[in-house]
Chain A
Amino acid sequence: MKVFINGIGNISPQETWDNSKFLEEVISSDDNRLLCVEPVYKEYISPIKLRRMSKIIKRGIASALIALKDANVENPGAIITGTGWGCWADTEKFLLAMIDQGEEQLAPTAFMQSTHNTVSGQIAITIKCHNYNSTYVHRGVSFERSLQDGMMLCVEGNTNVLVGGFDECTDNFFAMLGRVGSWKKNPISSLELFNDNQQGTIGGEASIAFIIDSNKGENSYASIDAMTTFYKPESNYAVTQKVLSFLKSNGLSVSDIDVIVTGNNGDSLSDEVYNLVLQEFPEAAHTGFKHLCGQFDTSTAFGTWLAAKMLKTQSIPSVVKLNDVNKAPSKVLVVNHQNKENYSLQILSKC
């Protein structure tokens, strides 16, 4: 099911929307949440339309358009997005109005835009794309489900498939998830994420789109050779076994992996899983990314972006390094999980 990443659009808390840059400058936060750095949207969307759009819709459309341009593709063969919480700003806007106004005098716009497939629908409307269109909303593997469907479509003969993930961290969303212990109690600098012992992590958001195809494009970043997901493994040890058998089933051994990208998020319970996996790869360069984008349901997409950029630029930015090993990346393993429930593994190669 090998596919090539032929274009990327990444709007995140770093200046990643500019594909010519690669983390030369790093943006940090000190309030336990990283919010997106926005491009100038009127370069992508007409001002009349922009007025009615919530941030996530703007980000979704702009990231898609950046990726399409990057791949030199006008009309993708399919549009498939993943999101955990969907268009939360619009959802809670309608929800709070309904609660506070006692179900009276409600305006429809926020409701219309509250459905999780608004972004994939709006991308299609913007570029007039009538092709396959879907949205997966499966918690910590929402992006992976979109990628996997895209890879299946490529096997079926579809071309230039747009896959992606988006989530937004509104003030109320951040407060609400804080109530159930998602975030660290005391504020930390995001760049200290991996050195902090408190439970919990930091919030984040992004909208990241990839154009994938069975054939290599003129601007290809990397190939995604294989991916898999698994659910609630019996133990941390079982995770390591899953990683090793995944490599084996793809004809690889531990020594073939030059760089490993793990979803460490600074939560000790969560990170012990990654740390056990990393022990199996002592020769590889270890890298992390959630200190740059935060934790959200589709944050794996940022890990995929990081792997693809490292493979294309043949470099490992110092800010992502978790150990001192330095290698020219040719094979990267991406490992992510959310709450030790939904796990995903990806293998990317230089192309």
Chain B
Amino acid sequence: MSTRVFVTGLGTISSIGNNVEESYQSLVNSKKGIASMTRLESKHKRNRPIAEVNLTNEELANFANVKTLEGCSRTSLLGIVAAREAAVDAGISNELNSERIGLISATTVGGMGETELHYRDFIDENGQGTHLDYINSHDCGESTQRIADELGMKGYQNTINTACSSSANAILLGSRLIKHGILDKVIVGGTDALCKFTVNGFNTLMILSDKDTTPFSAHRKGLNLGEGAGFVVIESEESAKGKKIYSEVTGYANGCEAFHQTASSPEGDGAFQVMTEALAVAGLQPTDIDYINAHGTATEINDLSEGRAIQRVFGDNVPKVSSTKSYTGHTLGASGGIEAVYSNLAIDRKTIFPNLSFEEQMPELGFKPQIEVVQDVEVANVLSNAFGFGGNNSAVIFSKV
């Protein structure tokens, strides 16, 4: 068993950049991607700001050098862009057909963005047209398969949907597959496109903010949805030898709060459990953590629950905390992957990214999020949290090597 797992490549696309470098520039310049809806045609256009990737599907396909756009969902296109960037960054583009290289992609909606435009036609026996191609690309697994096919990958593939913790779980599973010696390298992360289904779904739950999201603020009003993809390449110690290493995946944990289908417990028991376990797996003390990239959705329940759990773990020594969802919106199945890219950039570029749009401190918490960019700072260990529906909680720790 390989005992260590290293991050050797990063790739991301979101409303704040079409690649890692653009995203980094936005992050350090406090440039968020949240705006009025332009691409998505929804009734909630006027009062539900979102974070869109400003490229059409055709532009994305060109950008990603996609061979066939037929039946290709936007979720797949975003995933292809980011997964390819990560593979190129890790220098593994020419060996992707190896059986020892895997792909684990997370998504919560798959091809829903296309299905919701055509579903009446899908089920009507008189419905006709090329849009019926999208029936075969609705399911989540199709997006992963398409990413693999576009990248020429032949080995292990998997798709995870544990809602908003999905791509954190992709990192966790990929790391374990390497430790078991089943794979040498894995592209892990997630992708999700914006669609009316999720906008309306979160809207019925009354957790979409009508202004720019304000994580960890007293009067927060919920989240803005976003879209994008984020992947990192992880490799075994042997396989990563001689390469540029961004970080080591030292800790991870997943658990189920088993409290409620969509709400977390007020004391943050589930978040506490996985942060504590991840620290134990990494063999680190809370004081070793320099930065927490929080789940920080800015819903009333999440930030209270996560904030309290952070206090329970870190006591009076809460490290710098920020929710980069204040830049990208909540990208659902992609968020754990995108935030893993940012966590690695924090270590690699010695930068801590701020929590934008912060207003007033939450009265229940003894700490405030980090609100300014910190540069030239030694970041040795980053904790990245991701929590999802079904009480699914995950935490991952990346450590400087």
| Chain A residues with a Cβ under 8 A of chain B | 79, 84-86, 92, 94-96, 98-99, 102-104, 106-108, 111-118, 120-122, 124-125, 127-139, 142, 145, 149, 152, 155-156, 172, 175-177, 179-180, 229, 231-232, 297, 341
A79: chain B residues within 8 A (beta carbon) = 256
Q: Establish whether residues A102 and B270, one from each chain, have CB atoms under 8 Å apart when the complex forms.
A: no
User: Smallest distance from the beta carbon of A313 to chain B beta carbons, Å?
Assistant: 33
Q: Establish whether residues A121 and B389, one from each chain, have CB atoms under 8 Å apart when the complex forms.
A: yes
A137: chain B residues within 8 A (beta carbon) = 139-141, 159-161
User: Smallest distance from the beta carbon of B175 to chain A beta carbons, Å?
Assistant: 11
Chain A residue, CB-CB nearest to B205: A108
Q: Establish whether residues B119 and A86, one from each chain, have CB atoms under 8 Å apart when the complex forms.
A: no
> Is B154 positioned at the interface, with any CB of A under 8 Å from its CB?
yes
Quick one: which of A111, A117, A139 has the most chain B CB within 10 A? A117
Q: Bits for B193-226, please: 1 = Cβ < 8 Å to A, else 0.
A: 0001100110111000000000000000000000
B115: chain A residues within 8 A (beta carbon) = 95
B158: chain A residues within 8 A (beta carbon) = 136, 138, 145
Q: Please, how many angstroms separate the alpha-carbon atoms of A113 and B261 in the complex? A: 8
Q: Please, how many angstroms separate the alpha-carbon atoms of A211 and B85 in the complex? A: 40
Q: Establish whether residues A180 and B389, one from each chain, have CB atoms under 8 Å apart when the complex forms.
A: no
User: Smallest distance from the beta carbon of B270 to chain A beta carbons, Å?
Assistant: 7
Q: Please, how many angstroms separate the alpha-carbon atoms of A133 and B270 in the complex? A: 12
Q: Please, how many angstroms separate the alpha-carbon atoms of A57 and B119 in the complex? A: 23
B123-146 interface (Cβ within 8 A of A): 123, 125, 127, 132, 135-136, 138-142, 144-145
A-B contact list, 18 entries, CB within 8 Å: A96-B119, A98-B116, A103-B196, A103-B200, A104-B43, A113-B261, A115-B108, A117-B388, A120-B162, A124-B390, A131-B256, A132-B256, A139-B141, A155-B180, A172-B122, A179-B127, A180-B136, A297-B141
A85: chain B residues within 8 A (beta carbon) = 138-139
User: Smallest distance from the beta carbon of B370 to chain A beta carbons, Å?
Assistant: 30
B125: chain A residues within 8 A (beta carbon) = 175, 179
A152: chain B residues within 8 A (beta carbon) = 176-177, 180, 182
A107: chain B residues within 8 A (beta carbon) = 204
The listed residue (B176, B177, B197, B273) touching A95 by CB distance below 8 A is B197
A131: chain B residues within 8 A (beta carbon) = 255-256
User: Smallest distance from the beta carbon of A143 to chain B beta carbons, Å?
Assistant: 12
Q: Please, how many angstroms separate the alpha-carbon atoms of A20 and B60 in the complex? A: 55
Q: Please, how many angstroms separate the alpha-carbon atoms of A99 and B118 in the complex? A: 10
Q: Please, how many angstroms separate the alpha-carbon atoms of A18 and B44 in the complex? A: 49
Chain A residue, CB-CB nearest to B260: A125
Q: Establish whether residues A138 and B144, one from each chain, have CB atoms under 8 Å apart when the complex forms.
A: yes
Q: Establish whether residues B162 and A108, one from each chain, have CB atoms under 8 Å apart when the complex forms.
A: no
> Is B259 positioned at the interface, with any CB of A under 8 Å from its CB?
yes
The listed residue (B108, B205, B392) touching A121 by CB distance below 8 A is B392
Q: Establish whether residues B258 and A231, one from each chain, have CB atoms under 8 Å apart when the complex forms.
A: no
> Is B169 positioned at the interface, with any CB of A under 8 Å from its CB?
yes
Q: Establish whether residues B200 and A99, one from each chain, have CB atoms under 8 Å apart when the complex forms.
A: no
The listed residue (A98, A118, A127, A130) touching B257 by CB distance below 8 A is A130
User: Smallest distance from the beta carbon of A120 to chain B beta carbons, Å?
Assistant: 7
A94: chain B residues within 8 A (beta carbon) = 197, 200-201
Q: Please, how many angstroms separate the alpha-carbon atoms of A50 and B98 in the complex? A: 47
Chain B residue, CB-CB nearest to A113: B261
Q: Please, how many angstroms separate the alpha-carbon atoms of A108 and B389 in the complex? A: 13
A104: chain B residues within 8 A (beta carbon) = 43
